[in-house]
């Protein structure tokens, strides 16, 4: 059971992470990660899937996460030029202490993405995120973020923004 202040810190972190991603503040978002972070978006909603045997949409270690962000920063990632206009809502937060002094926070999200790169359509992205958070030099950092979309196994449009 987290203290109220710890819970509040987790909530603040999730809201800040969401805002940085929504606003395409790539460097600031990347700075939220630990060096051993793993960013995972499975291609299925089936529980217990092994990312070393099954294909994912994203399974980034820190090096690949850096590459992902660098691509966006070149200004030539056509699928995010210009960057999608996004706002995401986060709710149903459940946070608990985990091993190693980390906190695991699960939350539901709903993202409205205006994909303005071609058709100017709004795409809705809905799912549940699991953040693994660790205190580094007094501040919370992500050592893991897993995003399970409700339609993970369906045909998806471009997902080159930070989800």
Residues in touch with other proteins (CB under 8 A): 41, 43-44, 52-59, 64, 67-68, 70-72, 74-80, 117-119, 153-160, 163
d(CA 29, CA 31): 5
CA dihedral over 124, 125, 128, 134, signed as positive or negative = negative
- Select 80 or 107, whichever has its Cβ closest to other proteins: 80
Question: Min. distance of Cβ 103 from other proteins in angstroms?
Answer: 26
Question: Min. distance of Cβ 93 from other proteins in angstroms?
Answer: 24
Q: Are strands 33-42 and 56-60 parallel, antiparallel or unpaired?
A: antiparallel
- Select 97 or 121, whichever has its Cβ closest to other proteins: 121
Question: Min. distance of Cβ 139 from other proteins in angstroms?
Answer: 27
The alpha carbon torsion through 103, 107, 112, 116 (nearest 10 deg) reads 30
Question: Min. distance of Cβ 64 from other proteins in angstroms?
Answer: 7
- Select 82 or 101, whichever has its Cβ closest to other proteins: 82
Question: Min. distance of Cβ 81 from other proteins in angstroms?
Answer: 9
Total Cβ atoms within 10 A of residue 116: 14
d(CA 123, CA 116): 10
- Select 61 or 135, whichever has its Cβ closest to other proteins: 61
- Select 34 or 160, whichever has its Cβ closest to other proteins: 160
Q: Which two tokens stand for residue 54?
A: 């099954």
d(CA 91, CA 74): 33
Q: Which two tokens stand for residue 88?
A: 């995401």
């Amino acid at each position: 059971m987290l203290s109220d202040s710890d819970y509040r810190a987790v909530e603040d972190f999730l809201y800040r992470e969401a805002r940085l991603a929504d606003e395409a503040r790539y460097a600031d978002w990347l700075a939220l990660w630990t060096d051993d972070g793993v960013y995972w978006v499975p291609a299925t909603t089936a529980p217990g899937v092994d990312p070393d045997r099954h294909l994912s949409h994203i399974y980034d270690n820190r090096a690949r996460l850096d590459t992902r962000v660098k691509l966006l920063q070149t200004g030539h990632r056509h699928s995010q030029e210009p960057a999608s206009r996004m706002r995401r809502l986060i709710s149903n937060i459940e946070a608990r202490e985990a091993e190693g002094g980390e906190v695991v926070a699960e939350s539901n999200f709903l993202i409205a993405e205006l994909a303005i790169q071609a058709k100017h359509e709004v795409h809705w992205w809905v799912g549940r995120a699991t953040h693994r958070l660790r205190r580094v030099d007094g501040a919370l950092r992500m050592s893991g973020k897993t995003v399970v979309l409700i339609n993970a196994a369906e045909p998806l449009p471009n997902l080159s923004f930070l989800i």
